[in-house]
Amino acid sequence: MIITIPWLKEHLKTTAKESEIINQLTNIGLEVEGLKENPGEMGKFKIAKVLKAEKHPNADKLKVCDVTIGGKEILKVVCGAPNAREGLITIYAPPGAIIPKTNFKLKVAKIRGVESKGMLCSENELNLSSESEGIIELKNKEKEIGKSYFKSKSQKAIDISITPNRADCLGIKGIARDLSSTGIGKLIQTKRKKIKQNIKHQIKTSIIKEKNQGCVSFGSCYIKNITNKESPEWLKNKLITLGLKPISAVVDITNYIMFDLNRPLHAYDADKINKEIIVRNAKEGEIFEALDNKKYKLKKDMCVISDKSGVLGLGGIIGGTTTSTELETKNILIEAAYFYPSSIRKTARGLNINTDAKYRFERGIDPNSIKEGLELATELILKICGGEASKFQITGKTNPKNRIIDFQVEKFEKLIGISITANEVDKILSSLGFKCKKSQKTIKVEVPSWRPDVSLDEDLIEELIRIKGFNNIKLIEPSKNRIQETLNFKQKLFHLSQRSLASKGYMEIVTWSFTDSKIDKQFSKGEKEIPIFNPISSDLDILRRSIFSNLAINLKKNQDRGYEDLSLFEIGPTFFGKNPGEQQIVLGGIKCGKINRKSWLDKERNVDVFDIKSDAIKTLIELGIEEKNLFVSDNTKHSYHPGRSGSITLKSEKGPHLAYFGEIHPAIIKNLDCKDKNIFGFEIFLKNIPEPNKKLRQSKKSFLASDYQKSERDFAFVIDKIFKIGVLEKIIREVDDNLIQNVSTFDVYEGENIPKDKKSVAINVTLQAIDKTLTENDLDEISKKIIDIVNKKTGATIRS
């Protein structure tokens, strides 16, 4: 909503300075978003004539125009508009002018090698309309070449952001009323002159009673024998400061009243109306050509204003071409109606139309403003265009009853924390147009018809505190008693995972929850795709099913920036359905490149599957799972290299699935077109990490260390090739829990001297007793036991 101080002062008697007014506006919730200071600026736009328009030597779609603004100088201007042609009269912006639409300051610039002094403007660029096809074409302005197009003494335009509940402030009078309640000035009550209304209303109007009728009341005035013309300067200037294009007196007057009183009106050429006005629901498929020159196919339940021949306008949204007023129009019908906001909203959304009238009706204008709007419109039309007016004809429901709220004053203190007196309540609310009647315990507050947003005590409290001032509320220090643990187990896991991965040299990234379906498809074969209804761009078109999609995209981007050794992780949701809750938190890591690249100290080598396996396992341990409970298997899925990947489950192969790890499948890497193809990753499923039922201090055994020497023995088993080494180690460890301290594999051999379906696994076992040094006998005994048990359980033999 744009206002100017002089216009505001037509409704507000005040001596306050502009800066005070701006401050107060923001303080009472009418936030000033910006000030458009344009004194003198708009004067720079000149009426100009194109003398010659030739094709640009270096660009097909551009023209080089010779432009005159009256003097001897011929200005060379490069222009891209298709309608730039010889003889056209248009608007020229010289270097230094600021284009209202873009706030861009023009400079002399070379465009494709040709110097352009300024530019020729479209209506859109001057904020006159949304018309951006081509430059403005002026008619009958030959004599005014060289003159400024905007003659207004430009005024500071104050741009106010109006919250959706404050429909009443979409007119300048409403803003003045709000300001008056702060004490900054007094609302001026304009007394209307009595207008002569002698002639007969020529057009019957009716609202059809039917289901979902969107129109509540329809008021109109018939005015005959007018002389429609260009508006007087004062009126044109007002519209231009608001960024509107003056059209003709009749149209300008209706627009002016809409912005002044928040009372949208519409003017019909009465001679083009076929007999009578009928407000009804549209028929399915009915065609209507609106003033924006577009044809709309209507649906039933859309409220239309029609006559005997068809649709004349979409009630409260936009008028139609068939009955539009022109300069030649003699007899008019002025409409002031009230429509249900929900009906307006539905129709406008259905047809995707946005107009100033629709914006006001859908938020809820004052249903009681029909008469006032018609009065002012008639008065102005008779004054500017002459003619004779009829009495007003208002059909439908009028004068709806105002709401009454029984307001308890002490409720204010209960909610806000500071007190207010009944007198203060009366004063503030009355200044906002509420009527207050004090009784013993409560105040009976009558809500004015222009405040559809106020219906509860809390709404009144908001009115009171916003005028009284939020800065008067005393702040109360928060009490810091904690009733529960701040974070639950899953939340703690989240943060622990971040620290754990970061400490392993991974960088944390946060990426969109959505991703490119082409990439996601590769990581999530067979899972249902979840498309986004209204994606921000076509490469962010679905919710990610795999944590790898964005990790891989960003890994590649960094590779393309020249970074080769990368470790990235993200912890965030992946989705398996579109309903709330159909998502899980996954910790994903991805790694590529080399270890010790170009190091003088160590030998460089490629990142390999054991690196990623180790990162996954260490992280799981740090997340609270004991290493012995991690069951590693070679179960894998399609997005990993089938031979260089695996799974980690809890305790057994069938236990909860904790993680996948491995090399990313070469086919995917190839599709991604990654520079370095040596890429590994892991996924940890946090939901499957068990919450320990005992605290660490309870589950730890007491510490017992042996003072006796430890011994080591190496074994080489010849075992089935497919047998998992992890299982073998576990079997050995379980042979004697007390003596065996550690089991580790140091060599695996396949080939010569070993049967084809077997492998040789060399294992080191550390042995130590708590009560004595183990003798050679003891060691032989336990070694034999290990060999026997392994043989019994796996069929492995000792390699000879």
Partner 1 sequence: MLSSKPPFKIIVPGRTYRCDSDQTHAPMFHQLEGLHIDKGITMGHLKGCLDYFIKEFFEVKNVKMRFRPSHFPFTEPSAEVDIGYKVEKGKIVIGEGDKWLEILGCGMVHPNVLKNVKIDPKKYQGFAFGIGIDRLAMLKYGINDLRAFFEADYRWLSHYGFDPLDVPTNYRGLSK
* Contact with partner 1 (CB under 8 A) among 284, 406, 458, 653: 458
Which range of residues in 183-191, 290-298, 461-469, 631-639 is near partner 1 by CB under 8 A? Answer: 461-469
* Contact with partner 1 (CB under 8 A) among 83, 148, 554, 633: 554
Select 412 or 661, whichever has its Cβ closest to partner 1. Answer: 412
SS3 state at 745: strand
Is 514 near partner 1 (CB under 8 A)? yes
Strand partners, 158: 3, 35
Select 284 or 582, whichever has its Cβ closest to partner 1. Answer: 582
Is 198 near partner 1 (CB under 8 A)? no
Structure tokens at 291: 């003033």
Footprint of partner 1 on residues 416-455 (CB under 8 A)? 416-418
Select 470 or 708, whichever has its Cβ closest to partner 1. Answer: 470
Is 27 near partner 1 (CB under 8 A)? yes
Is 511 near partner 1 (CB under 8 A)? yes
Is 102 near partner 1 (CB under 8 A)? no
Query: What letter represents residue 698's amino acid?
Result: Q
Whole-angstrom distance, CA of residue 138 vs CA of residue 90: 6
DSSP string, 123-150: TTTTTS-S--SS----SS-GGGTTSBS-
* Contact with partner 1 (CB under 8 A) among 12, 568, 616, 774: 568
Is 557 near partner 1 (CB under 8 A)? yes
Tell me how far, at minimum, the Cβ of 461 lies from partner 1, in Å: 6
**DSSP alpha helices (H): ranges in 417-488?**
422-431, 457-468
* CB-based contact 332:267 (threshold 8 Å): yes
Is 696 near partner 1 (CB under 8 A)? no
* CB-based contact 339:264 (threshold 8 Å): no
Whole-angstrom distance, CA of residue 740 vs CA of residue 687: 34
* Contact with partner 1 (CB under 8 A) among 573, 642, 692, 795: 573
Is 23 near partner 1 (CB under 8 A)? no
Structure tokens at 664: 């990313």
Is 473 near partner 1 (CB under 8 A)? yes
Q: Work out whether strand 63-68 and strand 46-55 pair parallel, antiparallel, or are unpaired.
A: antiparallel
* Contact with partner 1 (CB under 8 A) among 129, 274, 513, 764: 513
Q: Work out whether strand 276-281 and strand 204-207 pair parallel, antiparallel, or are unpaired.
A: parallel
> For residue 690, what are the contacts with CB-CB under 8 A and spacing of at least 6?
625, 650, 656
Backbone torsions φ then ψ of 770, nearest 5 degrees: -85, -25
Which range of residues in 139-147, 298-306, 402-410, 502-510 is near partner 1 by CB under 8 A? Answer: 502-510
Q: 270 burial class (0-12, 13-18, 19+ CB within 10 angstroms)? A: buried
Tell me how far, at minimum, the Cβ of 70 lies from partner 1, in Å: 42
Phi-psi region of 469 (alpha: psi -120 to 50; beta: other; left: phi over 0): left
Q: Count the site residues for partner 1 by CB under 8 A.
A: 55
* Contact with partner 1 (CB under 8 A) among 103, 352, 471, 777: 471
Is 748 near partner 1 (CB under 8 A)? no
Select 404 or 415, whichever has its Cβ closest to partner 1. Answer: 415
Which range of residues in 38-46, 82-90, 465-473, 606-614 is near partner 1 by CB under 8 A? Answer: 465-473
* Contact with partner 1 (CB under 8 A) among 285, 295, 475, 705: 475
* Contact with partner 1 (CB under 8 A) among 80, 563, 779, 794: 563
Query: What letter represents residue 440's amino acid?
Result: Q
SS3 state at 169: helix
Is 177 near partner 1 (CB under 8 A)? no
Which range of residues in 509-517, 609-617, 687-695, 769-777 is near partner 1 by CB under 8 A? Answer: 509-517
* CB-based contact 718:800 (threshold 8 Å): no
Q: Work out whether strand 197-199 and strand 388-390 pair parallel, antiparallel, or are unpaired.
A: parallel
The torsion angle over the Cα atoms of residues 645, 648, 652 and 657, rounded to 10 degrees, is -110
Tell me how far, at minimum, the Cβ of 183 lies from partner 1, in Å: 16
Tell me how far, at minimum, the Cβ of 800 lies from partner 1, in Å: 50
Is 415 near partner 1 (CB under 8 A)? yes
Is 538 near partner 1 (CB under 8 A)? no
Strand partners, 575: 583
**Residue at token pair 């990142």:** 607
Tell me how far, at minimum, the Cβ of 501 lies from partner 1, in Å: 8
Structure tokens at 204: 């019957």
Select 561 or 701, whichever has its Cβ closest to partner 1. Answer: 561
Select 271 or 410, whichever has its Cβ closest to partner 1. Answer: 410
Tell me how far, at minimum, the Cβ of 344 lies from partner 1, in Å: 19
Tell me how far, at minimum, the Cβ of 557 lies from partner 1, in Å: 7
Is 456 near partner 1 (CB under 8 A)? yes
**Residue at token pair 């003798």:** 775
Whole-angstrom distance, CA of residue 457 vs CA of residue 447: 11
Q: With CA atoms as reference, report the closest residue to 594 among 607, 585, 608.
A: 607
Is 470 near partner 1 (CB under 8 A)? yes
The mark string for 104-143 relative to partner 1 (x by CB under 8 A, - otherwise) is ----------------------------------------
> For residue 12, what are the contacts with CB-CB under 8 A and spacing of at least 6?
176, 179, 180, 184, 185, 186, 187, 188
Q: 196 burial class (0-12, 13-18, 19+ CB within 10 angstroms)? A: exposed
Select 115 or 508, whichever has its Cβ closest to partner 1. Answer: 508
The mark string for 143-172 relative to partner 1 (x by CB under 8 A, - otherwise) is --------------------xxxx------
SS (H, E, C) 200-222: CCCCEEEECCCCCCCEEEEEEEE
* Contact with partner 1 (CB under 8 A) among 6, 13, 18, 31: 31
Q: 192 burial class (0-12, 13-18, 19+ CB within 10 angstroms)? A: exposed
Is 540 near partner 1 (CB under 8 A)? yes
Structure tokens at 638: 């399609």
Tell me how far, at minimum, the Cβ of 19 lies from partner 1, in Å: 12
Tell me how far, at minimum, the Cβ of 639 lies from partner 1, in Å: 20
* Contact with partner 1 (CB under 8 A) among 35, 502, 770, 798: 502
* Contact with partner 1 (CB under 8 A) among 194, 209, 510, 654: 510
Whole-angstrom distance, CA of residue 611 vs CA of residue 600: 21
Number of Cβ within a 10 Å radius of residue 777 = 8
Is 385 near partner 1 (CB under 8 A)? no
Is 579 near partner 1 (CB under 8 A)? no
Is 83 near partner 1 (CB under 8 A)? no
SS (H, E, C) 686-714: HHHCCCCCCCHHHHCCCCCCCCCCCEEEE
* Contact with partner 1 (CB under 8 A) among 76, 466, 651, 713: 466
Strand partners, 180: none
Which residues would be at the binding site for partner 1 (CB under 8 A)?
26-29, 31, 163-166, 414-418, 456, 458-459, 461-462, 465-466, 470-471, 473-478, 483, 499, 502-503, 507-514, 534, 536-537, 540, 550, 554, 557-558, 561, 563, 566, 568, 572-573
